Chain A
Amino acid sequence: MASEILRLENVCKAYNVGLPTETEVLHGIDLELDHGEFLALIGPSGSGKSTLLNIVGLLDRPTSGRLLIKGQDTAALGDAEITRLRGHTIGFIFQYHLLISAFTARENVMMPMLADRGFPSAEIEARANYLLGQVGLEKFAGNLANNMSGGQQQRVAVARALAMNPDLVLADEPTGNLDTKSADAVFELMRQVNRDSGTSFLLVTHNMDLARRCDRIIEVVDGRIRA
């Protein structure tokens, strides 16, 4: 229990609650994730994977059930506290890179730290350079996001997700838009970070080859976890 980073207890999510069009997407999800664990979340399109990921990432709230991050129940937290907890505990990697195009690779990696502290500093810049070095992109630090390949952008996104040294990284099909070689490189990068720093990963993927290389596989079908 002590090493548990994430716990979901009977989490349900419905949209248009109270309306004739009410739709329940998640039905009583129970899930735990330990520190340092690398979990693959698989399932067909529309099964509720992304909704689950949004709830775990504190971008959305469950309709019922409990979500505990590092043992803390998030139900009672206000918007500002949720934002702070998300910024300090969770890193995101999205399918379509989603770097901010007005900034360079280094500045994109600096962004979470900048939002947290308010002002740029040498320390923040040094950490961004270190993380870019870790993902093998130190030479591209000054490049604008749009001037990089898809694989490079996704590696920058990995570096950005690690900027605040989070306990958990949520990756929503991070390799879905990459060629096999780049996908493999990005996956190996995440795996290495997981091994080296003990950061937990929750990876949503359709790629069964990658899922099999994770510590554990959870399959979501029709809003339920298949045993």
Chain B
Amino acid sequence: MNRWLPFEWTMAVRFLREGRLQTIFIIGGISIGVAVIVFMSAMLAGLQANFIKRVLTSQPQIQLLAPDQVARPLRHGAGEIEDAVVQRPSQRVISIDQWPKIRTQMQAMPEVVAVSPTILGSVLAVRGDASRSVNLSGVEPDSYFKIVKVPDYIVAGEARLTSEDIIIGVELAKDLGATVGDKLNVRAASGATRVLTVSGLVDLGNKSVNQRVCYAALRTAQSLLGMIGGITTIDITVRDIYAAEEIAQRIQAANVVEADSWIKTNAQFFTAVQAQQNTNTLIRLFVGLSVAFGIAAVLVVSVIQRSKDIGILRAMGTSRGQILRVFLVQGGLLGFVGSLFGAAMGAFALVYWHSVARQADGTELFPLILERSLFVYTAMLATVTGLLAAMAPAVRAAKLDPVVAIRG
């Protein structure tokens, strides 16, 4: 008998040990349940991280734009409107008013990680007889590359953007027959023209995007698009990606800008992420419930089997509270031990699945994320589930009339 083990623990461990087959089966059941939770949670976290990484490292999380231009109705006098129908005006490309001040404000926000001014416009990329209409982004590489990880997507050349450089999408390079080091003639709608050198080719993982994407230095793009000193968007990344919409709304309320978060602009993707999380929570809930019912069922049977033992213990001076704790400890122990085996099984299954499941190009389907917190959380959850499941049988055991129990 272990000197460090209290009476209740000694009884609980011995009861579990004596009902060996019963204990092994229920621990097996709990382990499978915990393994499913660990496997599902870790795999979904990996898949989600992968999706989020792909989406959010190729676009800003919040984009500040100049507000829409609106036409005001012509008023004749107080409360009298001349024209009832007001046509929406065409939207000129205009700069964000006082953008350096807004940028400084954004940089001062604790939730914000990086801020970058950008100018966006359509231009014509011409090489020899080939020409393509493309989207030109004029960026400050130092700040912009913290938001969109252009260097990570470079497949040829380098992520260099001097005033004479241009980075273009791989599909555009194919269409124009251009490669790193080639010159491109870039023409704006206004007629302004610059000859830029292809410094790098970028693959953002989407063919239509790769056919139209071009990056140039901010000043180069400003002069091409005829907006010297102006910018069309301020791109922002934040610490908590799921708080992006709330932060965007605050920014819009405090400044004369329109703020769009990635949650708003990628509503379908975000809904898919939420649905995935909800499904995972539901699976966890139902697995947890089946584990709890399994533990409760085993302990209810154990109380019936042990009723004589309980009667003797009560006759010997064991209190109702002690009997209650004997069965609670059994529930907690079953949950905890099951969670240890289950976590190991789940981790093993995850490592195996990670090595087997591959994307078409041979890269991993999801990153292997085995966080310690997941195991600690699962072990705690299983232990608490065990304790809660043991509550009803434990109360039943504690309430047993010793006379009836001894008589059997």
Contact = CB atoms under 8 A, between A and B. Distances in A.
A115 to B, nearest CB: 4
A62 interface: no
Interface residues of B, number: 28
Given A110-B1, A115-B7, A115-B322, A103 B316 contact: no
B308 A120 contact: no
B15 interface: yes
Interface in B223-238: none
Interface string B86-100: 000000000000000
B250 to A, nearest CB: 57
A77 interface: no
Interface stretch (A23-31, A87-95, A204-212): A87-95
A54 to B, nearest CB: 5
A221 interface: no
Interface string B1-25: 1111111001000110110000000
Given A57-B315, A83-B317, A83-B318, A119 B7 contact: yes
A162 B357 CA distance: 67
A100 B7 CA distance: 14
Nearest to B321: A80
Nearest to A80: B319
A114 interface: yes
Contacts of A119: 3-7
A120 B315 contact: no
A83 B2 contact: no
Interface centre among A54, A59, A94 (most CB of B within 10 A): A59
Contact of A112 (B5, B18, B317): B317
A118 B320 CA distance: 14
B406 A98 contact: yes
B15 A102 contact: yes
A121 B3 contact: yes
Contacts of B18: 101-102
A54 B403 contact: yes
Interface in B298-354: 308-309, 311-320, 322
Nearest to B13: A102
A216 interface: no
A169 to B, nearest CB: 12
Q: Which size bracket describes the interface of A in this complex? A: 20 to 34
A98 B318 contact: no
Contacts of A107: 1
Nearest to A166: B317
Given A102-B17, A111-B313, A115-B313, A120 B320 contact: no
A80 B317 CA distance: 9
A70 interface: no
A116 B7 CA distance: 9
A51 to B, nearest CB: 9
B401 to A, nearest CB: 8
A84 interface: yes
B151 interface: no
A149 to B, nearest CB: 19
B2 A60 contact: no
Contacts of B46: none
Contacts of A101: 18, 309
Interface in B1-59: 1-7, 10, 14-15, 17-18
Contacts of A60: 403
B367 interface: no
A92 B15 CA distance: 22
Contacts of A84: 317
Contacts of A80: 319
9 contacts: A84-B317, A92-B315, A100-B312, A100-B313, A101-B309, A102-B14, A110-B1, A119-B6, A120-B1
Interface of B: 1-7, 10, 14-15, 17-18, 308-309, 311-320, 322, 402-403, 406
